[in-house]
Amino acid sequence: MKLTLSSSPHLRTRRDTGQVMRLVIYAMVPGILAQWYFFGWGVLIQAVLAVMTAVLAEGTILSLRKKNVERALSDYSAVLTALLIAVSIPPALPWWMTVVGTLFAIIIVKQLYGGLGFNMFNPAMVAYVVLLISFPVAMTMWLPAAGVFADALSLADTASLIFTGFTQHGYDITQVRGAIDGVTAATPLDTVKTGLTQGATYSELLSRDIFNTAFFDAMGYGWGYVSLAYLLGGLMLIRLRVITWHMPGSMLLAVLVVSLVLHLTNADLYGSPLFHLTNGAVMIGAFFIVTDPVSGSTTPRGRIVFGALIGFWVVIIRTFGGYPDAVAFGVIIMNMAVPLIDYYTRPRTYGRTPRNSARGGQQ
């Protein structure tokens, strides 16, 4: 029998970083397919563009830092970051904005802080916020959820729109948005946000076209199914034990509780829990973004606090802030609070009870 001596830790993980990242990427497939189905070819083009940019940028920076490029690239973290950016941005965003956002995520947010494992902010979400505050108009130009088979925009048309700013027939993004359903398409969150400021009540807004065709009335058409697809992928990840339930569970619960409290105080002003849970980025955020192992909290109790506070901020900023969606802002705010959360939620050292640690422990 051969005995091997090795230093601690003796427990081995079953998966390395690359495998975990790949599983997360596979779990995103249902959501990406749903986005492709409802919002057209844009999401796939953006994904290819973002992944290529991210891998190139990561490789360049790593070789500048004289690191093992091949090993670092094979952890797939850059690919995952790129995919998260690609699914968060409007599908017909001009190509160079996607490139700028991805470069910012990889070079400034990730590599300048020391690469994978050292970045204190979630790269994809910082990229999203950078793009949102830099190009507010382009970043809110969502195409209507017409469905890819509704003869909306062909693959070639979408590519031409992204890379030249015009479709093959010379229409720009504003004309495309107007032409499909006759009115300027907004996202469900946008519709409610603007509608409320114009004096409509929440229930009146739910009778708009963008909600009507959905399964439940508070679920935006297309958006609700995309959310469900990400929920499915997320449950798969929990089942495969890639992520734990702590962060997504506490975040979704917080969104539910906070929005329910607001909704019960005034149903005309504040959206229902279902509206908040199934629209915008809450579902993908809860399972794919908040669960980032690097920039999130690391203690079990800390994860619950971290997730719950993100959920809290999402509803609060959506309701009272200037932007319709807030997952990115919530994540970034809480990323800053992670050291504090970790400090106060350190697990008890084995053998220490509150009583004997008050005496200074047993050394």
Partner 1 sequence: MTDFRDLSLQGIWKNNPALVQLLGLCPLLAVTATVVNGLGLGLATLLVLVGSNVTVSLIRNIVRNEIRIPVFVMIIAGFVTIVQLLMNAFTYELYLALGIFIPLIVTNCAIIGRAEAYASKNSVGAAAFDGLMMGLGFTLVLVLLGGLREALGGGTLLAGADRLFGPVAKDWTLTLFTTEHPFLLAILPPGAFLGMGLLIALKNSIDAHIAARQTVVHQKATRARVTAEN
Among 34, 78, 97, 192, binds partner 1 (CB under 8 A): 97
Whether the CB-CB separation of 322 and 283 falls below 8 Å is answered with no
CA angle 328, 334, 337 (to 5 degrees): 155
- Per-residue binding letters, 135-154, with partner 1 (x by CB under 8 A): xxxx----------------
Least Å from the CB of residue 283 to partner 1: 28
Least Å from the CB of residue 104 to partner 1: 9
Coil/strand/helix, residue 166:
strand
Please identify, using beta-carbon distances, which residue of 65 and 71 lies nearer to partner 1: 65
Least Å from the CB of residue 136 to partner 1: 8
Please identify, using beta-carbon distances, which residue of 130 and 162 lies nearer to partner 1: 130
Please identify, using beta-carbon distances, which residue of 26 and 135 lies nearer to partner 1: 135
- Per-residue binding letters, 213-252, with partner 1 (x by CB under 8 A): ----------------------------------------
Please provide the DSSP assignment of 178-241 as one string.
HHHHSS----HHHHHHHHHHTT--HHHHTTSHHHHTSSSTTSPTTHHHHHHHHHHHHHHHHHTT
* Residue among 274, 310, 281, 234 at smallest CA distance from 35: 281
Q: Which residues ranging from 98 to 137 are in contact with partner 1 (CB under 8 A)?
A: 100, 108, 130, 133-137
Q: In the structure encoding, which two tokens stand for residue 349, read together? A: 């050292």
Q: In the structure encoding, which two tokens stand for residue 289, read together? A: 């973004």
Residues 6+ positions from 170 with CB-CB distance below 8 Å: none
Phi, psi at 361, each rounded to 5°: 75, 175
Alpha-carbon gap, residue 156 to 135, rounded angstroms: 25
Least Å from the CB of residue 28 to partner 1: 27
Number of residues located near partner 1, criterion CB under 8 A = 11
Span from 93-101, 179-187, 250-258, 343-351 in contact with partner 1 (CB under 8 A): 93-101
Whether the CB-CB separation of 98 and 86 falls below 8 Å is answered with yes
Please identify, using beta-carbon distances, which residue of 174 and 213 lies nearer to partner 1: 174
Please identify, using beta-carbon distances, which residue of 173 and 327 lies nearer to partner 1: 173
Q: In the structure encoding, which two tokens stand for residue 288, read together? A: 């794919």
Please identify, using beta-carbon distances, which residue of 138 and 240 lies nearer to partner 1: 138
Among 94, 222, 234, 296, binds partner 1 (CB under 8 A): 94
Span from 18-26, 92-100, 204-212, 260-268 in contact with partner 1 (CB under 8 A): 92-100
Please identify, using beta-carbon distances, which residue of 56 and 100 lies nearer to partner 1: 100
Please provide the DSSP assignment of 249-301 as one string.
HHHHHHHHHHHHHHHHH-TTTS--HHHHHHSTTHHHIIIIITT-TTTS--SHH
List contacts with partner 1 (CB under 8 A). 94, 97, 100, 108, 130, 133-138
